[in-house]
Every structure is written in structure tokens, then in C-alpha cells.
Amino acid sequence: MRNAIMAGALVGALCAVLGTFVVQRDMAFVGEGLAHAAFGGVALGLLLDLGVRFSVSWLGPIWVAVPFCAAVALGIGWVQNRGLASESTAVGIFFSVSVALGIVFIYLRTTPAGDLEGYLFGNILAVRRADVYAAVALAVIVGTLMGLTWTKMAYIAFDRTLARLSGIRVEALDYLLLVMMSAVIVLSVRTVGVILVSSYLIIPAATARLLGGSLMRMTLKAVAIGVLGSTIGLIISFYVEVPSGATVILTLAAAFGGASLLANRRRSR
């Protein structure tokens, strides 16, 4: 339970930080596409049977899913930046191909696919201390990269064209954001599952946006909502004996509902 709470809090904070830019730049569908692309990566990891070789909880398939999902993210960015297709079209194509590959990989596996249901619906209580360390390492990496590029990322989020005219390497930062999103999404799969992981990325940031404030304040509020929502949802699921991933998302959705009522009251005033 301690490992689950720590992992959930770390993943919630990571998703909230990147989710701020996802919501601000209206990239929710990209998050959804990368979440389903993670299924293809996990399926490939299970096919290669790396979970047995590494014998580290769910980190075996995850090591394969991260580069797989990152490749999909870079593919989406490349197709969009080259003007070959719109963002939604590119996401739709790569999303469909990734899921199809995942199904083929699962079919090709001659032995049982392990805890495939855990990857689809989440199984945060299965995490071990090594998994928490992996989340800490990713948090350090993402935090460092965001700290170095925060000003430019914020500039792009508010005015992409002007940022490019100002000499900012917009495409390079787009690729960086997509790769960080893919890594965080793959890490979050075990917490809430492939089906719900995009909600983990979007709901805290959307709730914080309703509460208002600058981009930095919005990010801090999103982190607080993500961490508290994950912890409270996990505790509720433990006592009520319901799936943890779904309970976390419903807890975050309840926070969004409360923020919506508060924002509507402010506007009416």
C-alpha cells in the first residue's frame, strides 16, 4: 500500500505538470493516442518476455513500451510538422496502427500474456519499491527538462507563431514534449491502465485551469490535485474494495465537477 501511494502520487504529479501544457495547447487527443500506443509497446514487451528476464515487477514490458511509445509520438509530430496530415489525423493513424500491432503481438505470444488485464485496467497495488524508484528517476528527468525549457514551453503554449518568429526551436520542443508525454503515460499505465491513463493526464490540469491563475499557478494546482486525487482515490478503493485506477479517475472527476460549479458561480456573479 505504501508503494502504491508513493507511485500514485509521483505519477499524478508528473501527469499534472505535462497535462498543463496538453490542456493549454488543446492536445488531449494526442494524449489519448499515446495512451493506446502504450498498449502496443506493452504487448511487444510481453511477446519478447522481458518481464521474466528482468524479473522486476512490470518494468520488463515497460522498458520496451517507452521507446515504442516515444517512436509513435515522434512519428505523430513529424507527420504534423511536415504538413502531411493534421494533428488529429496523424494521431488517428498511429493510434490505430499501434493497437493493431498490440493485438498481433499478443496473438503471436505462445504462452499466457501475463497480467495483461492489469495493463488495460491498472493494478497499482502490484507495484514494488523498484517501480517507485523508476518513477522517482523519471520525475527527476522530467523536472530537470521542464525547468530548463519552461519559459520557451510557456511561450509556445500561448503563441506558437510568435514563438517561432522569436527564434525558438518550436519543432524540437514539440518533439521533447511528446517524448516526455510518452514516457509518463507508459509509466502511468500500471496505475490506472491504458484505457484511463489519458484522463490522468488531462483532468487535473483541466480542473486547475477552471480555478484560474497564471500558468505556473495552474501547474502547481494541477500537481496538488493529481497527488491528492491519487492518494484519496487509492484509500477509498482500499476500503470500499473497488478497482483502484477507476476510483482515482472518479475522484479526480469529482474535483473537476466541484471546480466547474465554483467557476460557474464566479461567472454568474
Per-residue pLDDT of the chain (269 residues; tens, 9 = 90+): 888 888 888 888 988 899 999 888 888 888 888 888 888 888 888 887 644 444 344 456 777 888 888 899 899 888 888 888 888 888 888 888 988 998 888 888 766 655 666 677 777 777 778 778 888 888 899 999 998 999 999 998 888 888 888 888 888 998 999 999 888 888 887 777 777 788 888 999 999 999 888 888 999 999 999 999 989 998 998 898 888 888 888 999 999 999 999 888 888 87
How far apart are alpha carbons 71 and 65 in whole angstroms?
A: 10
Which pLDDT belongs to residue 25? 86
| 31 domain residue, yes or no | yes
Q: Which residue has the cell 496538488?
A: 224
| 268 domain residue, yes or no | no
| Domain residue limits at 225 | 2-259
Residue 169 Rama label (left phi>0; alpha psi -120 to 50; beta): beta
* DSSP output for 115-171: SHHHHHH--GGG--HHHHHHHHHHHHHHHHHHHHHHHHHHHHHH-HHHHHHTT--HH
**Number of domains forming the structure of the chain:** 1
Q: Which three cell numbers stand for residue 42?
A: 506493452
Cα distances (angstroms) measured from residue 108 to each of 44, 68, 103: 10, 18, 9
Which pLDDT belongs to residue 54? 40
CATH number of the domain where residue 215 is located: 1.10.3470.10
| 115 domain residue, yes or no | yes
CB 188 within 8 A of CB 29: no
Which pLDDT belongs to residue 253? 93
| 203 domain residue, yes or no | yes
The packing angle between helices 59-81 and 87-108, to 10°, is 150
| 235 domain residue, yes or no | yes
Q: Which residue has the cell 504538413?
A: 83
How far apart are alpha carbons 208 and 225 in whole angstroms?
A: 8
- Is 0.85 surpassed by the pTM of this model? no
| 266 domain residue, yes or no | no
| 264 domain residue, yes or no | no
In sequence order, what are the residues at sequence separation of 6 or more whose Cβ sits closer than 8 angstroms to the Cβ of residue 160? Answer: 170
Nearest residue to 130 (alpha-carbon basis) of 74, 216, 190, 42: 190
CB 139 within 8 A of CB 10: yes
How far apart are alpha carbons 119 and 65 in whole angstroms?
A: 11
| 74 domain residue, yes or no | yes
Other beta carbons within 10 Å of 185: 30
CB 8 within 8 A of CB 124: yes
